[in-house]
Amino acid sequence: MTDVLEVKNLKTYFFTDEGIVKAVDDVSFSVAKGKTLGLVGESGCGKSVTAMSISRLISPPGRMVGGQILLNGRDLVPLSEREMRQVRGAQISMIFQEPMTALNPVLTVGYQIAEAVLAHEKVSKKEAWSRAVDAMKAVAIPDPEKRAKDYPHQLSGGMRQRIMIAMALVCNPAIVIADEPTTALDVTIQAQILELLDSLRERYHLSLILISHDLGVIAEVAETVAVMYAGKIVEIGPAMNVFHNPKHPYTEGLLRSVPRLGSSANAGEAKGRLYAIEGSVPNLLHLPNGCSFAPRCYKKTVECTLSEIPLEAVDEGHLTEVRCIHA
Amino acid sequence: MPDVTEPLLSVQHLKKYFPIHRGVFGSVAAHVKAVDDISFTINKGETFGLVGESGCGKTTAGRVVLRLLEPDSGTIRFDGVDLLSLGKHDLRRKRRDMQIIFQDPYASLNPRMTIRTIVGEPFAIHGIASGSERDDRVADLLKTVGLDSSVMNRYPHEFSGGQRQRIGIARALALKPKLIVADEPVSALDVSIQAQIINLLADLQQQFGLTYLFISHAIPVIEHISTRIGVMYLGKLVEVGTSRQICSAPKHPYTQALLSAVPIPDPAARKQRVVLRGDVPTPINPPPGCRFHTRCPIAVDRCKIEEPPLRQIEDGRDAACHEI
């Protein structure tokens, strides 16, 4: 299996007046062709900064300070801004959370999709427009010829997100990064978009990085799951392993703390308490020594706070890696 | 058999339409039928969950129940009194018994006030306790919601989202209310914090015998916390029942689709779901007949013309559908 994208030891820090925020600190993963990597974690864990670093969209005071980003074997880090512009949008494309703010309100959606084609390929405007209409057809927008002449406000949230997906796909990218693509959508529309993403991935052998805070969304589509906490991956492995047999106490806590559908079936009306991870996410300016999760962890021992905990394989096949000495 | 206990809250045929004006001084062009003839009751000590997608009218319903918005028609009976007959003065007195917790803990706390002033404000408004007695009460309230009383002189920006939500809850508890309307109280919070707040709300309910109207779009959260659930679609209640009835064996096709759309945090549970086609129609000009018929997998001709009433289909469960 070939890896389309390989991220090695990525470090992105923010140099603020109050100190250095290590938003992404030594993150490594790879995405194979036609596969989906799910990146999950709570706000501030660094999942979006990871995505922005891959497409080099980090602006000061943030800066990528280390690591390699290999796209089909080619390292993107040494590329000039001009070269990077050819990669971004063509080989790596992104889908954002809020389709209303990501689209230009004064241009038709067809024009905006066609613009992406014109920016990267030497084609006529007419050709670009027909590519845009085709992309809209691929994301199942009814009557695409007519809808292409609509402005963003004329479309519903779900339709706008389909436009974003069409725009991301129109140049046949090697990898698509979807950052919370369904968070702003209602649950019935979310189901449509997840189904669409999954079917497109299958049809075009897309590689996908799906970023979400919602464990349910990740479980729906990801083959591999990486759990992030305070800038680091704390657990990474096949979705089945991570969800069914979580090894890191944070992953375990997260999974136990979400209310499950069907909770009233067994317990009736007396559903009792949810498992809750005590405390809150640490301030990235003042991270504790050793394991960042230690202050909230029920397995914590003195060893946890002494030195940096490495990410290590915990099973025989070396499929799952965990950053915990008690795993 | 006569009803022994009157429900704490009884809402009948509640309607709230928002006019849409044409032009700056223009005439009313249309109405957004945000809440269109809903009825439900909440018994003392229970949690009634109101669930639905954006624009279904759940938040408006919560506001109207507290008379933060005036309804266009219908009746609201709360704690033995007809809420809509109360004058300004009496309503203010009655409001002690009904409080609200908001979704956004950033927008609902005044950034220029200290925690002491925020949590003590209900006492100030109602002229209860002052000086050191008020401080003592504020300290007690903070302790009740799991905060240290030493935070009294600090400002909202110094707290995390979860802590701010605790402050909002302390404020809602100040006057020992009977009913709390919780409008998406955990939606803005991270997963690990969400569980803490849900547990806190459950503990407080036990401790103070509180009754909740819990509004949320998150079905697993609603199921976990609610005794009974009402499902809303485009301003109407389409199904009401116990949380087990609604979540284990939904009868209305919309409830079924809604539940089926919830992503399950288990990759082995990837399932054949009922994916609803199309979008929610606008509440300005809702479809005639059953409002759900445009997306309903089992709609027949009758559904396009005749609006199904909410009727009892089994013990404890009401649904509005011709085909059940």
Measured in angstroms, the CA of B54 and the nearest CA of chain A are apart by: 7
Give the H or E element holding residue A22: strand A19-32
Mean of pLDDT values over B149-161: 90
**H helices within chain A, ranges in order?**
47-54, 81-87, 99-102, 109-120, 125-138, 144-147, 157-169, 187-204, 215-221, 239-244, 249-257, 263-267
Q: What is the mean pLDDT of residues B137-151?
A: 92
ipTM of the complex: 0.85
Q: Does A280 sit within 8 Å of B163, measured CB to CB?
A: yes
What would the mean pLDDT of B14-23 be, rounded to a whole number?
Answer: 90
> What's the average model confidence in pLDDT over B70-88?
94
Mean pLDDT on A156-164:
91
Among B12-21, B260-269, B305-314, which stretch is predicted with the lowest mean pLDDT? Answer: B260-269
Query: Which tens digit of pLDDT belongs to each residue from A82-127?
Result: 999 999 989 999 998 877 788 999 999 999 999 999 999 999 999 9
- The mean pLDDT value for A193-221 works out to 93
Measured CA to CA, the distance from residue B141 to residue A43 in angstroms comes to: 28
Contacts of A320 (CB under 8 A, 6+ apart): A235, A236, A237, A238, A241, A242, A247, A313, A314
Q: Is B53 on the interface with A (CB under 8 A)?
A: yes
Residue of B nearest to A241 (CA): B267
Q: How far is B266 from chain A (nearest CA, A)?
A: 5
pLDDT of residue B269: 82
Whether residue B192 lies within 8 A of chain A, CB to CB, comes out as yes
- pLDDT beyond 50 at A219: yes
pLDDT tens readout for residues B124-143: 999 888 889 999 999 999 99
Residue contact B267–A219, C-beta within 8 A: yes
Per CB-CB distance under 8 Å, the chain A contacts of B192 are: 42, 253-254, 257, 276-277, 280-281
Contact A274 B195 (CB under 8 A): yes
Mean pLDDT along residues A306-314: 91
Measured distance CA(A93)–CA(A88) in Å, rounded:
6
Per-residue confidence at B2, pLDDT binned at 50, 70, 90?
very low
Amino acid letter for position A77 = V
Cβ within 8 Å, pair B195-A281? no
CB contact under 8 A, A219 and B276: no
Average pLDDT, chain A: 92
Average pLDDT for B193-212: 94
| CA B83 – CA B65 distance, rounded (Å) | 9
Strands (DSSP E) contained in chain B are 9-21, 28-42, 47-51, 73-78, 81-82, 98-101, 179-183, 211-216, 228-233, 236-242, 311-314, 317-319
Rounded (5°) CA angle B278-B282-B42: 100
Give pLDDT, residue B199. 93
Question: CB contact, 8 Å: B259 with chain A?
Answer: yes
For tokens 């609803």, what's the residue? B276
- Average pLDDT of span A248-272: 82
Is the predicted pLDDT of residue B68 greater than 50, yes or no?
A: yes
pLDDT on residue B103: 86
What is the rounded average pLDDT of the residues B108-129? 93
Size of the A and B interface in Cβ pairs below 8 Å: 147
Average pLDDT for B221-231: 95
Residue A97 distance to chain B (closest CA, Å): 15
Closest Cα of chain B to A238: distance in Å?
10
pLDDT at A49 over 70: yes
pLDDT cut 70: percent of chain B above it: 98
Peptide linkage before B122 cis (omega within 30 of 0) = no
Query: Would you place residue A44 in the very low, low, confident or very high pLDDT band (cuts 50, 70, 90)?
Result: confident
Q: Is B305 an 8 Å CB contact of chain A? A: no
Check A261 against B262: CB less than 8 A apart.
yes
A191 to B273: CB separation less than 8 angstroms, yes or no: yes
- Would you place residue A2 in the very low, low, confident or very high pLDDT band (cuts 50, 70, 90)? confident
pLDDT > 80? residue B271: no
> How high is the pLDDT of residue A250?
96
B212 and B182 Cβ atoms separated by less than 8 Å: yes
Q: Residue A1: its pLDDT value, please? A: 57
Instruction: Tell me what the pLDDT averaged over chain B comes to.
Output: 91
For residue A302, count other CB atoms closer than 10 A to its CB.
8
Contacts of B273 in chain A (CB under 8 A): 191, 195
Query: Residue B54: pLDDT band by 50, 70, 90 thresholds?
Result: confident
pLDDT tens, residue by residue, B162-200: 899 999 999 999 999 999 999 999 988 888 889 999 999
pLDDT single digits (tens) B28-50: 888 899 999 999 999 999 999 99
Amino acid making up residue B41: T
Predicted local confidence at residue B124, as pLDDT = 93
Q: If you average pLDDT over residues B292-300, what whole number do you get?
A: 93
